[in-house]
């Protein structure tokens, strides 16, 4: 797994040890960033269930202003720190060593881009999605990675399901605020 482009292009990233981390495939990551390529510059990013931190690191490498990485796993926290050091992006990052829902209770935001990739089939996406929407900028975008069979709601707070993409066993669901579409 490596950074696709930007200031840290080509840097290999560490993956936390253990069965709880399922890194986003290169094809899925490339597709997600293609969908938001014009929204990354100077964005404030939230990477929930961050795992290795690869999504937030890719955003920082491509010009995001800042990223908050949230993961309650010690192995993930260690991998994120190591990956931020390897890429030279630590100055633009903050690591929250918390459960995602605990973090969201006091998160101030607003965030422009949020990546959610919780462990599959545990109901974590549904429990988190509306709380994420509450800390987003109206013009923001929420990108959710799930198993293709996992149902997601049509709305999350003021955000509405904008588009679904399928890549093998993976589904990426994009939420946007409809008032931002009209602008």
pLDDT at 21: 63
Does residue 84 belong to any structural domain of this protein? yes
pLDDT at 121: 75
Cα 141-144-147 angle, rounded to 5 deg = 160
Does residue 10 belong to any structural domain of this protein? no
Collapsing DSSP states into helix, strand and coil, what is residue 125?
helix
Tell me what the mean pLDDT of segment 144-157 comes to. Answer: 92
* CA 63 – CA 58 distance, rounded (Å): 9
Q: What percent of the chain has pLDDT over 90?
A: 69
* Alpha-carbon distances, residue 136 vs 74, 88, 158 (angstroms): 27, 27, 10
Domain boundaries, position 158: 26-181
* CA 69 – CA 49 distance, rounded (Å): 8
pLDDT at 155: 95
Residue whose tokens read 């975008």: 141
Does residue 96 belong to any structural domain of this protein? yes
Task: Report the chain's mean pLDDT, rounded to a whole number.
Answer: 91
* CA 136 – CA 147 distance, rounded (Å): 24
* Number of structural domains found in the chain: 1
Where is 156: in which H helix or E strand? strand 155-156
What are the φ/ψ torsions at residue 111 (nearest 5 degrees)? -105, 150
pLDDT at 166: 93
Instruction: Look up the pTM and report it.
Output: 0.93
Confidence label for 140 from pLDDT (cuts 50, 70 and 90): very high
* CA 5 – CA 176 distance, rounded (Å): 25
What are the φ/ψ torsions at residue 162 (nearest 5 degrees)? -100, -45
Collapsing DSSP states into helix, strand and coil, what is residue 57?
helix
* Alpha-carbon distances, residue 148 vs 169, 176, 183 (angstroms): 5, 20, 31
Please report, for the domain that includes residue 149, its CATH number: 3.40.50.150
Does residue 3 belong to any structural domain of this protein? no
Task: Give the count of alpha carbons within 13 A of 68, CB side only.
Answer: 20
């Amino acid at each position: 797994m490596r950074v696709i482009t930007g200031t840290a292009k080509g840097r290999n990233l560490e993956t936390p040890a253990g069965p709880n981390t399922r890194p986003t495939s290169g094809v899925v990551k490339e597709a997600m960033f293609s969908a938001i390529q014009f929204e990354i510059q100077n964005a404030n990013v939230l990477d929930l269930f961050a795992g290795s931190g690869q999504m937030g690191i890719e955003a920082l490498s491509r010009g995001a202003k800042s990223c908050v990485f949230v993961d309650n796993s010690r192995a993930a926290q260690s991998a994120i720190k190591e990956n931020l050091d390897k890429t030279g992006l630590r100055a633009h990052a903050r690591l929250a060593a918390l459960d995602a829902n605990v973090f969201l209770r006091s998160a101030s935001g607003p965030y422009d881009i949020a990546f959610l990739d919780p462990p599959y089939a545990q109901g974590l996406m549904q429990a988190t999605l509306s709380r994420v929407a509450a800390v987003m900028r109206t013009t923001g975008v929420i990108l959710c990675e799930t198993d293709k069979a996992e149902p997601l709601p049509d709305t999350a707070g003021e955000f509405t399901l904008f588009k679904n993409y399928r890549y093998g066993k993976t589904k990426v669901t994009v939420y946007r605020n409809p008032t931002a579409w009209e602008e």
